[in-house]
Chains A and B, each alone.
Chain A
Amino acid sequence: MATFEYAPAPESRSAVTLRASYGLFVNGEFVDGRGTPFKTTDPATEEVLAEVAEADERDVDDAVKAARRAHTRVWSRMSGSERGKYLFRIARLVQERAREIAVLETLDNGKPIKEARDVDVPTAAAHFFYYAGWADKLEHAGLGTRPESLGVAGQVIPWNFPFLMLAWKVAPALAAGNTVVLKPAETTPLTALLFAEICQQADLPPGVVNIVTGAGATGHAVVSHDDVDKVAFTGSTEVGKAIARSVAGTTKKVTLELGGKAANIVYDDAPVDQAVEGIVDGIFFNQGHVCCAGSRLLVQESVAEEVLERLKRRMATLRVGDPLDKNTDVGAINSPEQLGRIQELVGVGEAEGAERWSAPCELPTKGSWFAPTLFTGVSQAHRIAREEIFGPVLSVLTFRTPQEAVAKANNTPYGLSAGVWSDKGSRILWTAARLRAGVVWSNTFNKFDPASPFGGYQESGYGREGGRHGLAPYLKGSER
């Protein structure tokens, strides 16, 4: 070997035992669905992993009924400390089966095992730990002296962080005394079904957690079911708006965690090497399938050239390929449909006259892949500066003054997250105060923690997940 090439370092698949087919998880048991079963595949290899049941309206109704019964008869009557112990059990089981969950997540989703292993699964376990501890302390959450659960929560989660989003939804709901009917995304149902097994192993009372698989129609059945008291959705702004319309005139509480087009502002006095890392983390973490991705780089003109040069050099070291390889930095695009959308918008970017640069990397021939890409010469008017691409594509814009940076950053209907890089504390605080976004990462990016509230302004949705704030959406008397 003349140069330092890294030999393949694949994580073993042996931790995972796939079943040929999976049913729905209703009332503590796996049952057949009445819809048309569908296949879930490994986006990196196009290998069919399993067949999964589709829940139709009757199945969803069964699940809601099971959840209602469990709420009325068991879960809402149980003391907070007892509920908490079940959540602690779940947290421990997640840790014990961490390797298995991580490998399964990588297979079903296409994300690098490094991220599933080091981010998704440990953060999910942390969420259960965090909210487990809240279950018997709700009267101290600042939401009234006798906070009451809402009832049945209908939860619909996306494919980008399947297991972590499940934890974000299920942990606070259960801690607050609600029962849930959860629908995972149709391209990534497997870790949710593994979670169903974990619920069984934890001896969670039947019906407290119900998992119904399927696509949009199943999700619609969940959120529009009359006996659902609470709707929690993470996904596209378009579907979020449809949900907001569908609950109009009801008493359902809603939290929506939707799209974003976050600005990542790099001032000329930024700690530049860390800023470059933050830009890379911001847009290439999880293939850019991140609602809070820093998809618009706003860099001060005086350092734009230097930052771009460093960024390109850094992007060239990103290792794209087999998601199960422990050295892979960027994995597979989750589905051919998503790849199509990325390609379409990248085509639009080129047609609109922005200049494209993609990292030189060999992409596997099979499966869905997209090379880490950036566009320079982008203006606010370009579609690639306005629309969420949800892929590894960065739009680079420049600014001259802090006022201009903030104005451009806020010039979007979204408002989920933002980044700001500077070595001057007061400039960071000035900027952070003016950014209309629910999460501002200063001199860092894409950090998540169960204690830290997450959620957007404007069309990025409403309500917060995480922290004490994340309890409010699941308790009576506290709006959102």
Chain B
Amino acid sequence: MTRADVRKTYKLYLGGAFPRSESGRSYAVEDAKGRFWAHASRASRKDARDAVVAARKAFDGWSGRTAYNRGQVVYRVAEVLESRRDQFEAELRTAEGITASRARTYVDAAIDRLVWYAGWSDKLAQVVGGANPVSGPYLNHSAPEPTGVVAVLAPAGPLLGLVSVVAPVIATGNTCVVVASQPHPLTAITLGEVMATSDVPAGVVNVLTGPQDEIAPWLASHMDVDAIDLTGVEDPEAARNLEIAAADNLKRVRRPAAEDWLATPGLDRMTDFLETKTVWHPMGL
């Protein structure tokens, strides 16, 4: 007799916990060969709302940590991911039907990307901020600060794409609500498990699975979301509509563009979700 697998139930990752969708709904996810693989939670607008609340609640604490500490936490995510390479490799092969070596390339690149962004957390302020030589007796300096709660519409790349859009957002002190790739949601939840065991505080990363076209408009129009990354929106008309909705509270919008996830990123995925704060102080006796 062969042993029956203990199969995993994939749920949402929300406020540090793994609840089912409040709607009680789920949808079937297929593997690359079109066979049933597992059910994913089908997040509702209320789940999106709850995720924003969780992300907002986490923001002060996360953004208030030292950059060094945030870098260590993101690095810890890389460490834990490294220890689960085989699991992710297998998931990627199932999801995308790619070769073992291709899957390994993606997993390794995702780990390395986390390490890259982890290192940025305590360096970026020196690169994009600095002292401003104003013509008067003032100390004047500009430094980047996280924008706030960022809605991330994740691209189809189940692991590398996802890590590439989430890591820059959190390394700089933002918190986020991620809508995972609709056809490849499961790896996002597994990544949530990595986050949950890597000292990432509850609510810093929240992962919703389900139909992007249903969930995204609620996030785009949400008045307590500060920015939205449209990278994973493939339909230009949908992206345009989300950008229009985002204008209600002047969210910072990153428009979709062609991406090469294996290339070394620039700073823009971080700076797009940063504000520059300039502080003046007189110098005198």
Chain A complexes with chain B: yes
- Scan residues 152-198 of chain A and give those whose CB is less than 8 A from a CB of chain B: none
Contact A454–B268 (Cβ < 8 Å)? no
Contact A444–B282 (Cβ < 8 Å)? yes
Q: Does A441 contact B (CB under 8 A)?
A: yes
Complex Cα–Cα for A443 and B137 (A): 12
Q: Does A73 contact B (CB under 8 A)?
A: no
A423-443: CB near B (< 8 Å → 1, else 0) gives 000001000100001111111
Residues from chain B with Cβ under 8 Å of A478 in the complex: 268, 271
Residues from chain B with Cβ under 8 Å of A369 in the complex: none
Contact B277–A438 (Cβ < 8 Å)? yes
Question: Residue A447 contacts which of B239, B246, B249, B280 (CB distance < 8 angstroms)?
Answer: B280
Contact A249–B239 (Cβ < 8 Å)? yes
Q: Does A457 contact B (CB under 8 A)?
A: yes
Residues from chain B with Cβ under 8 Å of A413 in the complex: 223, 249
Complex Cα–Cα for A240 and B247 (A): 9
Beta-carbon nearest neighbor of A240 in chain B: B250
- Scan residues 162-208 of chain B and give those whose CB is less than 8 A from a CB of chain A: none
Q: Does A39 contact B (CB under 8 A)?
A: no
Q: Return B26 CB to nearest CB of chain A, in Å.
A: 33
One of B35-43, B50-58, B125-133 at the interface: B125-133
Q: Does A364 contact B (CB under 8 A)?
A: no
A438-B276 contact, Cβ under 8 Å, with A249-B240, A449-B136, A467-B132: yes
Question: Residue B250 contacts which of A440, A461, A469 (CB distance < 8 angstroms)?
Answer: A461
A452-468: CB near B (< 8 Å → 1, else 0) gives 11110111011010011
Residues from chain A with Cβ under 8 Å of B244 in the complex: 245, 248
Beta-carbon nearest neighbor of A456 in chain B: B275
- Scan residues 235-250 of chain B and give those whose CB is less than 8 A from a CB of chain A: 236-237, 239-241, 243-244, 246-250
Contact A142–B254 (Cβ < 8 Å)? no
Q: Does A256 contact B (CB under 8 A)?
A: yes
Complex Cα–Cα for A245 and B135 (A): 38
Question: Residue A449 contacts which of B135, B241, B254, B271 (CB distance < 8 angstroms)?
Answer: B135
Residues from chain A with Cβ under 8 Å of B132 in the complex: 449, 451-453, 467
A443-B281 contact, Cβ under 8 Å, with A455-B276, A479-B271: yes
Q: Return A178 CB to nearest CB of chain B, in Å.
A: 20
Beta-carbon nearest neighbor of B248 in chain A: A241
Beta-carbon nearest neighbor of B239 in chain A: A249
Residues from chain B with Cβ under 8 Å of A241 in the complex: 247-248, 250
Complex Cα–Cα for A440 and B136 (A): 16
Beta-carbon nearest neighbor of A480 in chain B: B272
Q: Does A244 contact B (CB under 8 A)?
A: yes
Q: Does A94 contact B (CB under 8 A)?
A: no
Question: Residue B140 contacts which of A237, A245, A437, A452 (CB distance < 8 angstroms)?
Answer: A452
Contact A126–B280 (Cβ < 8 Å)? no
Contact B282–A439 (Cβ < 8 Å)? no
Residues from chain A with Cβ under 8 Å of B254 in the complex: 479
Contact A444–B249 (Cβ < 8 Å)? no
Contact B247–A245 (Cβ < 8 Å)? yes
Question: Residue B236 contacts which of A249, A432, A440 (CB distance < 8 angstroms)?
Answer: A249
Complex Cα–Cα for A239 and B85 (A): 50
Complex Cα–Cα for A126 and B268 (A): 30
Question: Residue B142 contacts which of A453, A457, A461 (CB distance < 8 angstroms)?
Answer: A453
Q: Return B241 CB to nearest CB of chain A, in Å.
A: 8
Contact A457–B275 (Cβ < 8 Å)? yes
Q: Does B252 contact A (CB under 8 A)?
A: yes
Contact B275–A438 (Cβ < 8 Å)? yes
Contact B142–A237 (Cβ < 8 Å)? no
Contact B279–A442 (Cβ < 8 Å)? yes
Beta-carbon nearest neighbor of A448 in chain B: B134
Complex Cα–Cα for A399 and B249 (A): 28
Beta-carbon nearest neighbor of A442 in chain B: B281
Complex Cα–Cα for A445 and B279 (A): 11
Residues from chain B with Cβ under 8 Å of A455 in the complex: 276
Complex Cα–Cα for A169 and B112 (A): 41
- Scan residues 226-256 of chain A and give those whose CB is less than 8 A from a CB of chain B: 237, 240-242, 244-245, 248-249, 251, 256
A454-B278 contact, Cβ under 8 Å, with A449-B132, A462-B252: yes
Residues from chain B with Cβ under 8 Å of A415 in the complex: 275
Complex Cα–Cα for A477 and B272 (A): 12
Q: Return B206 CB to nearest CB of chain A, in Å.
A: 21
A443-B250 contact, Cβ under 8 Å, with A453-B132, A457-B275: no
Residues from chain B with Cβ under 8 Å of A479 in the complex: 254, 268, 271-272
Residues from chain A with Cβ under 8 Å of B240 in the complex: 248-249
Contact A452–B278 (Cβ < 8 Å)? yes
Beta-carbon nearest neighbor of B140 in chain A: A452
- Scan residues 109-152 of chain B and give those whose CB is less than 8 A from a CB of chain A: 127-128, 130, 132-136, 138, 140, 142, 147
Residues from chain B with Cβ under 8 Å of A447 in the complex: 134, 136, 138, 280
Q: Does B91 contact A (CB under 8 A)?
A: no
Contact B134–A449 (Cβ < 8 Å)? yes
Q: Does B226 contact A (CB under 8 A)?
A: yes
Question: Residue A142 contacts which of B128, B237, B252, B281 (CB distance < 8 angstroms)?
Answer: B128
A440-B278 contact, Cβ under 8 Å, with A452-B140, A462-B252: yes
Complex Cα–Cα for A432 and B140 (A): 12
Complex Cα–Cα for A118 and B275 (A): 30
Complex Cα–Cα for A256 and B250 (A): 9
Can you spell out 26 A-B residue pairs with CB atoms less than 8 angstroms apart? A142-B128, A240-B250, A241-B247, A241-B248, A244-B246, A245-B243, A245-B247, A249-B240, A258-B250, A437-B277, A438-B277, A439-B280, A440-B277, A440-B280, A442-B280, A442-B281, A443-B281, A447-B134, A447-B136, A447-B138, A451-B132, A451-B133, A451-B134, A453-B278, A459-B249, A479-B254
Q: A-B pairs with the 7 shortest C-beta distances?
A: A249-B240, A248-B243, A244-B247, A449-B134, A248-B244, A451-B132, A245-B247
Known: A458-B250, A479-B271. 10 other contacts (CB 8 A): A413-B223, A415-B275, A438-B277, A442-B279, A444-B282, A449-B134, A451-B135, A452-B132, A467-B142, A480-B272
Interface residues of A (CB under 8 A from B): 126, 142, 237, 240-242, 244-245, 248-249, 251, 256, 258, 413, 415, 428, 432, 437-444, 447, 449, 451-455, 457-459, 461-462, 464, 467-469, 477-480
